[in-house]
Amino acid sequence: MSKYTIASQIVYPQAILILLWRRKATVKLVTDTLHSLAIMKKSKAFNNAGKLTALLVLITLFLTPFAIVNAGERGVLMEFGKVQDRVLGEGIHIIVPVVNTVKRLSVQVQKQNISAEASTKDLQNISAE
């Protein structure tokens, strides 16, 4: 046997062991990577849902401190549901979101038709519309 044949006989089993060990490590690496990707997908979905929730909360908090009273209305300020002395005119007003609410009431002229009937002392019927 030559020098190279002996070396190849010794190296060959070592190479097989190294390849098997690398293959096992590669399979483990792929498995771990797939598992990590699955977790990341779940966490990304949670992060996106969390971001959406945070955005909705911020929008709600940004818009609720303002009460808008339209033309022809007045706003009655209520604190924890109890009417306050302050009446809000037309426009945008700043309020405390959880503490204060505004009840809008119309102050425009409202037409109402009422008919009435009555009798006089001498038993005459009178009607008005």
pLDDT digits (tens, 9 = 90+) for 69-100: 999 999 999 999 899 998 999 999 988 877 88
Q: CA-CA distance, 33 to 123, in Å (whole number)?
A: 101
More confident residue, 117 or 35: 117
- So what's the pLDDT on residue 6? 47
In the predicted structure, residue 8 carries a pLDDT above the cut 80? no
Q: Rounded to two decimals, what is the model's pTM?
A: 0.44
Q: Which contacts (CB < 8 Å, 24+ apart) does range 60-63 have?
A: 61/97
Whether the CB-CB separation of 102 and 95 falls below 8 Å is answered with: yes
- So what's the pLDDT on residue 60? 75
- So what's the pLDDT on residue 10? 46
103 token code pair = 């009840």
Q: Locate the domains of the chain by residue range.
A: 1-63, 66-129
What region, left, alpha or beta, does residue 91 occupy, with left being phi > 0 and alpha being psi -120 to 50 degrees? left
Fill in the amino acid letter for 105. L
